[in-house]
Amino acid sequence: MPWLQIKARITDAEAPLMEQLFQSAGAVSVTLLDAEDEAVFQLDPDSTPLWQQTMLCALYESDADADSIIALITAGSRLQESDLLTENIADQDWERAWMSDFKPMRFGDRLWVCPSWSEPPEPEAVNIMLDPGLAFGSGTHPTTALCLAWLDSQELTNKRVIDYGCGSGILAIAAALLGASSVVAVDNDPQAVTASGNNRDMNGVSPELMTVHLPGESHEPADVVVANILSGPLAELTPVLASLTLPGGKLILSGVLSEQTETLMASYAPYFAMQPPVISDEWVRIEGTRLNTVV
């Protein structure tokens, strides 16, 4: 049957209460999406949202009274009627539609990302097996693609790599499979840490080669640091990421829109020799080489 869908842009701090509010108004399901990305996650009661801006999508049965639902939502929150987007969407086999949309993708010369139900097009290539589902990043977004292509272009043998804000662990797993000697994946979201560990195990990467943890655990600076987050957190993390990068090492930043590039590069310029940004669909990858300056 068709469905009534209601969308609202909210903050991550509001997500738990908003989810409860939309469910109390009769939602069959509530899904949260990063408002500046394409990765999808379901919010569990004790989870920590990963992103600062969130798009809430609630599904209701087609015969639900949209006016009554909107009245309940606006009465119980800061949202106004103009903040709510309602639309009717056709029914479909959601699981099969989702699976058909996700196909093997190639990044650079060696690297593929493949769903578990698909045979790798090039078995001899470096293949990451990863299902999108609730994963935080599956290679489909330009920022992830930019980082994967960069990793594919590098000689990572005997290099230490840190993936800061690892999400699904896709970049950390890529680094491990491309020959890095040590990989550390860090995320402030327990759900992401769990997802990264599961994806690591699915790809046959040992916990000794790739460790996954929350921020706060100490580890040595790395030859390569990759951070695919968002511009705001990246600016706040400037001293942290600078301290984690060895002199002469590489820092790769993404999750940045083109209009945010100049300000962010200025934040990192005291610590890194910055290269011209690489742009894809208004998203940017920034590369810097660590200077000998003290943080």
Cβ–Cβ under 8 Å, residues 143 and 254 = yes
Q: Give dist(CA 294, CA 273) in Å, integer.
A: 14
Q: What are the two backbone dihedrals, phi and then psi, of residue 269, each rounded to the nearest 5 degrees?
A: -60, -35
> According to the annotation, is 187 in a ligand binding site?
yes
Q: Among 208, 206, 146, which Cα is nearest to 171's?
A: 146
> According to the annotation, is 228 in a ligand binding site?
yes
What is the full DSSP assignment across 142-194? HHHHHHHHHHHHS--TT-EEEEES-TTSHHHHHHHHTT-SEEEEE-S-HHHHH
Rounded to 5 degrees, what angle do the CA atoms 132, 133, 139 make?
A: 15
Separation in Å, CA 155 to CA 103, 108, 142, 151: 27, 13, 22, 8
> According to the annotation, is 165 in a ligand binding site?
yes
Other beta carbons less than 10 A from residue 83's beta carbon: 15
Q: What is the DSSP letter of 28?
A: S
Say which residues have a Cβ less than 8 Å from residue 36's Cβ, sequence separation at least 6: 51, 53, 230, 255, 257
> According to the annotation, is 144 in a ligand binding site?
yes
Q: Give dist(CA 276, CA 263) in Å, integer.
A: 14
Cβ–Cβ under 8 Å, residues 273 and 248 = no
197's enclosing H/E stretch is helix 190-202
List the structure tokens of 65: 């009274």
Question: Binding-site residues for S-adenosyl-L-methionine, please?
Answer: 144, 165, 187, 228
Question: Binding-site residues, please?
Answer: 144, 165, 187, 228
